[in-house]
Amino acid sequence: MPAGTLYRGREGMWSWVAHRVTGVLIFFFLFVHVLDTALVRVSPEDYDKVVATYKTPIVALLEYGLVAAILFHALNGLRVIAVDFWSKGPRYQKQMLWTVVGVWVVLMAGAVYPVLGHAARVLFGS
Amino acid sequence: MSTTESPAAGVGPVEGAPLFDVDNPAPLIEAPRKRTKKTPRSTRGNFEMAAWLFMRLSGVVLVVLVLGHLLIQLVLDGGVSKIGFAFVAGRWASPFWQVWDLLMLWLAMLHGANGLRTIINDYAERANTRLWLKGLLYTATVFTILLGSLVIFTFDPNIR
């Protein structure tokens, strides 16, 4: 570890890094998402045309990535709240991070078929 | 060295307390950050504390709103395949989902904007860079919140 840095590595720092990265990604998607939804004020055809891109396999993969980012940010955010407000939070922050990772893996496995199912039917037929 | 009562340089009188005391033969020195009548009123307020608290409160609410939103849009009832103008019209016919989406829009935008404000403050080292990045951020945030609110409030299922 170089001298004079505040970065300490391990669970604490990397969860903080991941929280920032996922937060920024989600925020940028939010801009796009409000804009695409605003097309319902233009015409049903224009809205459906743009939503059709959300149903293509490549964008479906991006949606799976979005779900991954949101789920991590949500679960780790609850952990941050526990660290801040629960008296034993700081002591158990590592255990709580691995709990977050475990729940995240289970939810991501569960999201494979619902999120990517449509793309699979497009690619391979139903 | 004089032994008179004139205080040493940097030692000022403490309000309401004599410089020397029977119990304090040495001069009392004001705690550096002690608030006294002479201290100017704080000019900063508690904005950062309020922002910190807002992130946690809005975060808890957003967990419910956003995960519910993902469940409805991407998981239940065929996932993404059923989304279209008709689906949006069906949901926004109910005030419940209008309020849900409006609250989600405002909280998510403000939560994200505050997060990005923190990141800009952390990494943009020049004052001018911070000013411009935050100006851009606030402009985009206000625009997006207003646009989204306008769309929810003026949605017309019979637009065509």
Query: Per the domain annotation, does A4 fall within a domain?
Result: no
Query: Per the domain annotation, does A120 fall within a domain?
Result: yes
Query: Per the domain annotation, does A5 fall within a domain?
Result: no
Residue-range domains of chain B with CATH: 8-39 (no CATH), 47-154 (1.20.1300.10)
Query: Least CB-CB distance to A47: which of B79, B85, B109?
Result: B85
Q: Which domain holds residue A112?
A: 10-124
Distance, in Å, from the CA atom of B93 to the CA atom of B77, rounded to the nearest integer, reads 18
Residue pLDDT, tens place only, A103-126 = 999 999 999 989 898 888 888 876
Closest CA to A68 of A112, A119, A11, A15: A112
List Cα–Cα distances, B101 to A76, A90, B30, B62, B108, in angstroms.
23, 34, 54, 11, 10
CA dihedral of residues A24, A28, A30, A31 (deg, nearest 10): 140
- pLDDT tens track, chain B, 160 positions: 444 554 454 555 666 666 676 776 776 677 777 777 777 777 677 899 999 999 999 999 999 999 999 999 988 888 888 888 999 999 999 999 999 999 999 999 999 999 999 999 999 999 999 999 999 999 999 999 999 999 999 998 888 7
CA distance A17 to chain B (A): 11
Query: Per the domain annotation, does A85 fall within a domain?
Result: yes
CATH number at residue A14: 1.20.1300.10
Query: Per the domain annotation, does A3 fall within a domain?
Result: no
Number of domains in chain A: 1
The average confidence (pLDDT) of chain A is: 91
CB of A115 within 8 Å of a chain B CB? The answer is yes
In chain A, what is the straight-line distance between the N-terminal and C-terminal CA atoms, in Å?
Answer: 54
* Residue A12 and residue A93 in contact, taking contact as beta carbons nearer than 8 Å: yes
Residue with tokens 């893996």: A105
DSSP string, B76-97: STTGGGG-SHHHHHHHHTSHHH
The answer to whether A34 contacts B78, with C-beta atoms less than 8 Å apart, is: no
Using the Cα atoms of residue A52, residue B62, residue B108 and residue A79 in order, give the sign of their dihedral: negative
